[in-house]
Amino acid sequence: MPDPCASPTPTSMTTPAPEPTPDPCAPPPNLDYEPPQPSVDIPLASPPATLCPFTVNDAGEPACSVVEPSKDDKKKGSKSKSQAPDSSSLFIDKDWVAEHARQVSRMLLGGMKVVGIYVWVGDSAFKNSIIMLGQTVKAIADAAPLLEIDLDERILIHISYSPRRWTCRNCSLASNITSSNLRPCDFKMGKVLNSLQTFKCIYNFDLRLPIYKNSSNVRTFTDALRHAISVHAKELNSAKAIIDGNLVVNDKPCASDDLHEVELLLPFMKDASAEGSQKEVTGVIAFSGSVCSFAYLNIKEPISQAVAQIKEDIILSLQSRLDIICDEADGDADPSDAETGEGSDGMTTKNPISQLSLHLLRKTCNLSLPRRVFVPWLADMLVCDYLQSSETIEVVKDHCKELLSMETKFESLTILKPEVEAPALMARSFWDVAAPLGSAPASSSSSNSSTLETQRGQTSGTTVKSANINVILAAFFLLLSVIIGFVLIAVKRS
Amino acid sequence: MADEKEHRTVRVLCPKLVLHKHEPGLQWLIGSPFLPPLTVISTVKCILTDSSSSPDYAKESVSPIRAEDLRTLLPKGFDVAGALIVAKSDVEKNAANAIDSARRLRQILSDSGGSDRREALGVVVDAESGEVHFFASKSVKSTSLELVDSIVYVDRPEKYLWERGCLLRCELPIKLSIYYPVENSSDAEKMLQRATGAVIAKLKDPKVAYMVETVGKTSAEVPHPVVLRGSELDFSVGFSHIKPSNEAGQESDAKLVLCEHFCVNDKSGSPVYSAEDADKIQVSVLINSSEKSPKSAAPVAEYFPALEEARFLTVEFKLQVLSYATKDLPLMFAVSKLAVPGLIDQLNVMKNAILPNLLLQHSQLRPYHFSPPGVLHPITVIYELNYGETELKQVEVRKSLHLRLGLPLDRPLLRIANALDMFTTDGVKSVHKGSSLLKDVHIGIPSSGVSGGTVSLFQGSYEYFHYMQDAFNDSGWGCAYRSLQTIISWFRLQHYTSIEVPSHREIQQILVEIGDKDPSFIGSREWIGAIELSFVLDKLLGVSCKVINVRSGAELPEKCRELALHFENQGTPIMIGGGVLAYTLLGVDYNEVNGDCAFLILDPHYTGNDEHKKIINGGWCGWKKAVDSKGKNFFLHDKFYNLLLPQRPDMV
């Protein structure tokens, strides 16, 4: 996705506010709550930039606050020393904002990116906090990198109280943060969400990863998978695409605005993960499954962009799932236990499977990556979340509330679960798997997963439908009666 | 196929039908299922596995190894149309024998269990009189042979073949991962067998997708690539139910697109018809990873430790196949009946070659395509790159191929350097990359003026080396060096060698190395002569030379007959050295009756730039009569001359 910031001509970066709508033509938005304090939100972008507010951090403290010098200096980060009335400045919990950005970007589908932050604060406080804001922008850029485009700029939107006014600035990431890094840029509003095109792809893969005996770089299960994903990403990049049955050959925009089905054609049997010859192996990983992927594209953009976005979304989705497993493992790991370590069969340890050292494993073990589920968001756009086998749909709701400030009644939402739970581990041995293109995973587990599905539906209490996504999108479009405004930001590079 | 009904005609396309007239033997006659039956496109000699005196010609068809050779040698789209036997007697019996052999071989090559309903051709050549008899047999069941007396030797056979047909090329690199237990390493072979079996199954899988596109044309109106899905294709064996349809107007359906759709070569003007210039269609193999499945399961990773010591091995196959399809053939058949079987055959042949040394050797089998002179269609040969080209084993392989195809045994035509470059640089034929030198400057010169003479020229191509080239001032001393460079360029362009043409300094170094000259010779401006040239040719190329000395230039015309013989038999350029200037001799024009003669001289003393017109007008390349119209002698009578006649290496 060409980031609007990088585009020499004014392009479409829209910013629909997530909640009760701002007048598209007359900023500031008419929010139905006045923020009790300045809030740093993360505009999502590309094609639409949308604002995504957040509230409090883990400790229950605001992630962002205006520090008045007259007050007792509770926040150590305060830099305001002047006694002047407008010497107030912002304190921002950068790590928290960055973590938020990271988690939000994980929920975004292809074509949607975290491109910057917005801050709702008075003029003077803004001016006094340029450095802090710049650091925050840098932090979110690190936490939610834009993979495809190598852009060293992010956007900083300032919404001031009075007069109510939106200003947009480019924030360069390249050098040290000074006010000179902030360059004003044009800021326009427009309706883009409704003209977005949706691309959907089910991507099936089945990889065999040899684990070499004397290799130093791959040690744990997740290391091996991470390596495999990065290798596979290269292969995926060379894939050809068929959209709605037609091979993508030219760069014309897609004519119709329905849901487009993308099929990816990969090189035939070009096993990129295999390298070298006659190496000793300790085992093999069978890494397989399906990724349900979506991407959104502005109607004016070439169709090859959609293909690129789908490919990126597939890889990011796989990486996100792995990240989630690692995050959880990190959380669980008790530092004192870490050394008790790997027993003779590698399984007695308290380490989660994902952190096991594969060389020491003597038993077959499996690691189910979380399932991807989709939640309707703005217009008929979806966001995604990941569900581990032990989790219920409540987790998704919480994520939506916490991270995207979704206030919708979840009972009325249809959460899409196109991916079923991975089938139960088949009794297979090394040689079954290592045999070239060994028999495909049997389908005997289908009954298991469907029972799981119903159980889950009961506990979660949400409407679970695995119906055709087309139907649901259409239905959801009707449900969504809230009118959403858009901000079109056109950025001019100076 | 209408003319098969009543009036049967044998169409002979190949320029040389009988390869070896006087020795008994059998040749396979190659036709195409897409061309009218009884059409002979080319011929391949049958090489018997044992040289027993009783010629059981069916042996080759029985010996699977030979059949396999033929399977990959011929592009798909060509097959055995019949057989030709050179025999001394018993025309009818031999014809039946030939037809029987041909049918049996066809059976093996086609993999089809079904009966062979196509006509077969039996040709018998009388070993003594050279008389050729053509017989046809309608089907396996009918035992009666029919003498065919309507024989058409097609004029411009290349046009016949390539006007109505095109080449499909398909390149498929495959990397297979093989795991095997250290204890029982023979399992590796079984694993490879299974892996190749799986590849073959996957090539016919509904998930496979074949992308078809035009090759190498950059014009604006290139047809869009078409994707054919494995689920739409019919991989059953045989061409029986292919109906080359001419119904137009259905091109929207990918299934019904004809090969013609992708043939975009300009037909106006005077198109060149050859395998290299044929319309080419590229077929790529892809796997659809978004094929709809009843349900998609979230990713899962399972680790399986090897309970015994195991090793891992990757085996690479770089498949490249060519197939011939007529333009009215629907694309889907071209893929399912030609390209895919071609890939499978090549994979099997390579697998069988790799298997015996799977763990010992990292095999590097590569297919190469050739279009040798006299063979209308391309052929494919698989070479093992681990061996040097000059190793005996490879030389034997090439020799036997030369023999099979009726190619001369004294020149390399099937070396890698001769291969068609069908897969990389599209449409760009660059024999000698980066060379800016003029080639074959003698083309277009005025005739010699010898009336009634016979012209004998060298054969092949050379590059013109002369004074002052590469900004190197050798004027006055470098003529013999330049003549040597021209001669070496001939060996290069004829693919006898791939070494670079040596510089003056490198030539001097060689002469010092072999002890002919002192080290001070390097970098000097000393002349060299014919003898030095022969040393360098021997050292660099292993080429031996014949030397003719004459004491006076006046004696040279007497040598014309000998020189003409050299050009006919050896065909190499000759260097003229001696007391004065050095020249390169490219040919002679000699009237045996009155002794009038002229010499085609390529003069290395030219100091200008590489401009063809200037060279010709200046007479730097042209016919020189021994005595010109003004009575001046070209070869000085008071000087001696040495003629260096490089002998064509007897090698393939």
Write down the mean pLDDT value for chain A: 67
Find how far residue A86's CA is from the centre of its chain.
38
Can you tell me the distance from the alpha carbon of A358 to that of A284, in angstroms, rounded to the nearest whole number?
10
**Among partner residues A263, A420, A434, which is closest to B290 by beta-carbon distance?**
A263
- Closest to A240 (Cβ–Cβ): which among B194, B199, B211? B211
Q: Are B586 and B439 in contact (CB under 8 A)?
A: no
User: Most confidently modeled of A225-229, B129-133, B393-397?
Assistant: A225-229
- List, in order, residues 6 or more apart from A311 with CB less than 8 Å away: A233, A236, A237, A239, A264
Q: Which of B25, B17, B81 is nearest to B48 (CA)?
A: B25
Q: Same domain for A202 and A109?
A: no
* Main-chain dihedrals φ then ψ at residue A479, nearest 5 degrees: -60, -35
Does B248 contact chain A (CB < 8 Å)?
A: no
Structure tokens at B567: 């050009």
The answer to the question of residue A399 being in a domain is no
> What is the rounded CA–CA span in Å between residue A160 and residue A136?
18
A372 touches chain B (CB under 8 A): yes
| Mean pLDDT confidence for A169-183 | 72
pLDDT number for residue B351: 92
Active site residue B259: no
Residues A146 and A223 in one domain: no
Element (H, E) at A102: helix A94-107
Tokens representing B498?
């791939």
Identify the pLDDT of residue B374.
Answer: 84
Q: Is it the case that residue B156 has pLDDT exceeding 70?
A: yes
- Would the pLDDT of A22 be above 50? no
Per-residue pLDDT of A282-296, as tens digits, reads: 888 889 899 999 998
pLDDT of residue A3: 35
CA nearest to B161, candidates B325, B29, B9, B368: B325
The CATH number fitting domain B4-154, selected from 3.30.60, 3.40.140, 3.40.50, 3.30.1360: 3.40.140
Residue A446 located in a structural domain: yes
Query: β-strands B379-384, B365-370: how paired?
Result: antiparallel
Q: State yes or no: pLDDT of B437 exceeds 90.
A: no
Marked catalytic residue, from B20, B605, B610, B612:
B605
Is 60 exceeded by the pLDDT of residue A45? no
Task: Indicate the residue type of A81.
Answer: K
> Which of A277, A361, A436 minimises the CB distance to B198?
A436
DSSP states of A318-340: HHHHHHHHHHHHHHH--TTTTTT
Q: Residue B221 is encoded by which pair of tokens?
A: 């109106």
Predicted local confidence at residue A424, as pLDDT: 66
Q: What is the mean pLDDT of residues B195-208?
A: 90
Annotated catalytic residue B470: no
* Partners of B621 in beta bridges: B602
Work out the pLDDT band at B270, boundaries 50, 70, 90.
low
Tell whether A158 is covered by a domain.
yes
ω into A28 cis (within 30 of 0): yes
Residue carrying the six token digits 């044992």: B50
Q: Locate tokens 């009972």: which residue?
A: A411
Residues A120 and A162 grouped into a single domain: yes
Residue B15, preceding peptide bond in cis (omega within 30° of 0): no
Q: Do the Cβ atoms of A278 and B227 come within 8 Å?
A: no
Mutation site, A313, A430, A439, A445, interface B, largest B CB count within 10 A: A430
pLDDT(A313) > 80? yes
Q: How far is it, in rounded angstroms, from Cα A397 to Cα A406? A: 9
Interface membership of A440 toward B (CB under 8 Å): no
Size of interface A-B (CB pairs under 8 A): 232
On whether both A206 and A258 belong to a single domain, the answer is yes
Kindly state the helix (H) or strand (E) to which residue B612 belongs, with its residue range. helix B612-617
Among A280, A358, A420, select the one facing B303 at the smallest CB separation.
A358
Tell me which residues of chain B, numbers 525 to 554, contact chain A at a CB-CB cutoff of 8 Å.
none
Share of chain B above pLDDT 90, in %: 32
Read off the pLDDT band of B512 (50, 70, 90): very high
- Residues A128, A115 share a domain: yes
Lowest mean pLDDT among A186-190, B316-320, B483-487, B564-568: A186-190
Q: Is the pLDDT score of B482 beyond 90? A: yes
What is the 3-class SS of B167-227, one letter each residue?
EEEEEEEEEEEEEEECCCCCHHHHHHHHHHHHHHHHHCCCCEEEEEEECCCCCCCCCCCEE
Residues of chain B found within 8 Å of residue A247, distances taken between Cβ atoms: 211, 224-227
The C-alpha of A287 sits at a distance from chain B's nearest C-alpha, in angstroms, of 4
Domain end (from A191, A217, A247): A191
More confident residue, A392 or B507: B507
Q: Final residue of a domain: which of A173, A191, A209?
A: A191
In a domain, A346, yes or no: no
Higher-pLDDT residue of A201, A24: A201
Q: Count the residues in chain A.
A: 494
The reply to whether A433 touches chain B by the CB within 8 Å rule is: yes
Cβ within 8 Å, pair B176-A225: no
Mean pLDDT rounded to a whole number for chain B: 84
Indicate which residue of B259, B479, B545, B621 is catalytic: B479
The answer to whether A313 and A295 are in contact (CB under 8 A) is yes
**What span, in angstroms and rounded, lies between the C-alpha atoms of B293 and A468?**
13
Could you tell me if B310 and A211 are in contact, meaning their C-beta atoms sit under 8 angstroms apart? no
Contact A419/B at CB under 8 A: yes
3-class SS of residue A197 = strand
For chain A, percent helix, then strand, then coil, each to nearest 5? 30, 25, 45
Q: Identify whether residues A435 and A294 lie together within a single domain.
A: yes
> Residue A12: inside a domain, yes or no?
no
What pLDDT is stored for residue A401 in this prediction?
81
Q: How far is A454 from chain B (nearest CA, A)?
A: 16
Q: Is the pLDDT of residue A30 over 70?
A: no
Chain B residues 344-403 within an 8 A CB cutoff of chain A: 359, 362
Tokens 């990556």 found at = A369
Distance, CA of A203 to CA of B231 (rounded, Å) = 18
Q: What is the mean pLDDT of residues B497-525?
A: 92
Token representation of residue A167: 């200003």
CB within 8 Å: B305 and A361:
yes
Which residue, among B635, B632, B624, B636, has the nearest Cα to B449 in the 3D structure? B624
Give domain status of residue A427, yes or no.
yes
Q: Over the Cα atoms of chain A, what is R_g?
A: 24
Q: What is the Cα–Cα distance from A163 to B641, expressed in whole angstroms?
A: 105
Please report whether residue A75 resides in a domain: no
Distances (CA, A) of B471 to B434, B467, B474, B581: 17, 9, 9, 21
Tell whether the model's pLDDT for residue B600 goes beyond 90.
yes
Q: What 3-state class would DSSP assign to B455?
A: strand
Cα–Cα dist B439/B128, whole Å = 44
CATH number, domain with residue A118: 3.40.140
Number of domains in chain A: 2
Classify residue A455: in a domain, yes or no: yes
CB–CB of B296 and A446 under 8 A? no
Tell me phi and psi for residue A4, to 5 degrees. -55, -30
Task: Judge whether B44 and B70 are in contact, CB under 8 Å.
Answer: yes
Q: Which of A272, A285, A435 sits opposite B301 (nearest CB)?
A: A285
**Residues on chain B touching A371 (C-beta within 8 angstroms):** 298
Residues of B in contact with A449 (CB under 8 A): 295, 297
> What pLDDT does residue A477 have?
28
Q: How far is A64 from chain B (nearest CA, A)?
A: 38
Mutate to test the interface with B, among A201, A246, A265, A347 (most CBs of B within 10 A): A265
Q: What does the block give as tokens for A54?
A: 């957040």
Q: Is B479 a catalytic residue?
A: yes
Residues in Cβ contact with B201 at an 8 Å cutoff, skipping those fewer than 6 apart? none
Residue A475's pLDDT is what?
A: 27
pLDDT of residue B127: 81
Regarding whether A232 and A138 lie in a shared domain, the answer is: no
Same domain, residue pair A186 and A51: yes
Based on the fold, state whether residues A233 and A301 are members of the same structural domain: yes
- Beta-carbon separation of A268 and B287 below 8 A: yes
pLDDT of residue B574: 96
In this complex, do B202 and A275 lie within 8 Å of one another by their Cβ atoms? no
Higher pLDDT, B574 or A274: B574
At residue B258, does pLDDT exceed 60?
yes
User: Which residues does chain B have within 8 Å of residue A318's beta carbon, measured at their own beta carbons?
Assistant: 299
Least confident of A151-155, A406-410, B271-275: A406-410
From the list A275, A291, A434, the residue facing B179 with the nearest CB is: A434
Distance from CA of A90 to the nearest CA of B (A): 43
A391 in contact with B, Cβ within 8 Å:
no
Domain spans of chain B?
A: 4-154, 164-265+272-289+306-384, 454-646
Q: Burial level of A483, CB count in 10 A (0-12/13-18/19+)?
A: exposed
List of residues 6+ apart from B186 with CB closer than 8 A: none
d(CA B298, CA A204): 10
CB of B313 within 8 Å of any CB in chain A? yes
For residue B485, what pLDDT is reported? 95
- Whose tokens are 């498929």? That residue is B172
Residue to substitute from A353, A437, A439, A446, interface B, most B β-carbons within 10 A: A437
pLDDT of residue B185: 81
Q: Please list the alpha-helical segments (H only) found in B281-419.
A: 331-333, 340-354, 392-405
- 3-class SS of residue A52: strand
Q: Which of B175, B291, B301 sits opposite A204 (nearest CB)?
A: B291
Which of the following CATH numbers is that of domain B454-646: 3.10.50.40, 3.30.230.10, 3.90.70.130, 3.30.70.1730?
A: 3.90.70.130
Predicted confidence at residue A176, as pLDDT, reads: 63
Residues A332-359 have pLDDT tens digits of: 654 444 344 343 444 444 567 777 777 7
Q: Which domain holds residue A88?
A: 39-69+84-191
Quote the CA–CA distance of B300 and A367 in Å, as a whole number: 6
Contact assessment for residue A460 and residue A392, using Cβ atoms and an 8 Å cutoff: yes
Asked if A360 has any chain B CB less than 8 Å from its own CB, the reply is no
- Residues A249 and A241: their CA atoms lie apart, in Å, by 9
Task: List CB contacts (< 8 A) between A290 and chain B.
Answer: 293, 296-299
Which of A1-10, A463-472, B476-485 is the most confident on average?
B476-485
Q: Does A176 touch chain B (CB under 8 A)?
A: no
Give the pLDDT confidence of A379-405 residue by residue, as tens digits.
778 889 998 888 888 888 888 887 887
Range name among A78-87, A321-330, B86-95 with the lowest pLDDT average: A78-87
Residues A229 and A185 grouped into a single domain: no
Mark whether A50 and A141 lie in a shared domain. Answer: yes
**A175 and A218 fall within a common domain:** no
Rounded Cα–Cα distance for residues A80 and A42 (Å): 25
Dihedral sign of CA atoms B53, B56, B57, B63 in order: negative
**Cα–Cα distance between A394 and A72 in angstroms, integer?**
40
Tell me the pLDDT tens digit for each residue of B399-421. 888 988 888 888 888 988 888 87
Interface of B with A in 186-215 (CB under 8 A): 191, 194-195, 198-199, 202-203, 208-209, 211
